[in-house]
Structure 1
Amino acid sequence: MPRRRYRLVSDEDRDRIITRYEAGEDFLDTAAELRIPRTTAYEIIRKFVERGERRGRRPPVLDDEAKDFLVMLVEATPTITIRDFYHTLRQTFPGKPHVCNMTVSRALGGEHITLK
């Protein structure tokens, strides 16, 4: 049996639902007009109330500063390994969240840098 594909809710639709909720109006009417399931609308509101999130997606783990640093490392030392990237990143930015080697590899792939 094929997996069910869920329709993603756009950021504009999320903002419409949250705006109606903040105004004290019935946000479920807006959800019905936008053809968004009630449970999804409740989940959007729950995340907004608990975390203040207006957007559905998580922020990226590696920000632009860390990605730029990784690109600079590649340009300076082309033979550097992913493990060395990881350790250098942790030493340079100790306050940033820890990431795994695969996250570093994906970030480099997004910058069109491939590894062999």
Structure 2
Amino acid sequence: MSTQIEPPLVLAAVDEDGSAGVVLMYAWQEARRRKLPLRVAHVRTRREAMTDSDRLLTASLYDNLPPDEAASVERQILHDDDPARALAALSHDAALVVAAAGTLGETVKKLAALAACPVAVIPVTPRVAARW
């Protein structure tokens, strides 16, 4: 009996910290360059509703990628009080994990230590309010 191994993918870790756009763009470009599928994941905690997580992923994808590309991206929502542990588990199927260094600072540090693949940490600068 042969076991079929799924091809690796690029995993984009998205959070509600405003960094989804830069994370998705980098991950999408890497997935295209490597000719790999893209999966976007969000780890929700007890305080987040599943519908909020689904809205976050949908808005992030359709706000930042072409509609046909956004529709083809695999989405995954996990429930875990330790986002780094959950993302590290997903990294076993990935060739690359992309995450932001914004509010996920401690999570990203822990993820980098636990991941089964390279982790691209995207720096995110705070948004500057427009001056009129």
Instruction: Please tell me whether Structure 1 or Structure 2 has the larger radius of gyration of its CA atoms.
Output: 1
TM over 0.5: no
Q: Tell me which protein shows more strand as a share of its residues.
A: 2
Q: Tell me which protein shows more helix as a share of its residues.
A: 1
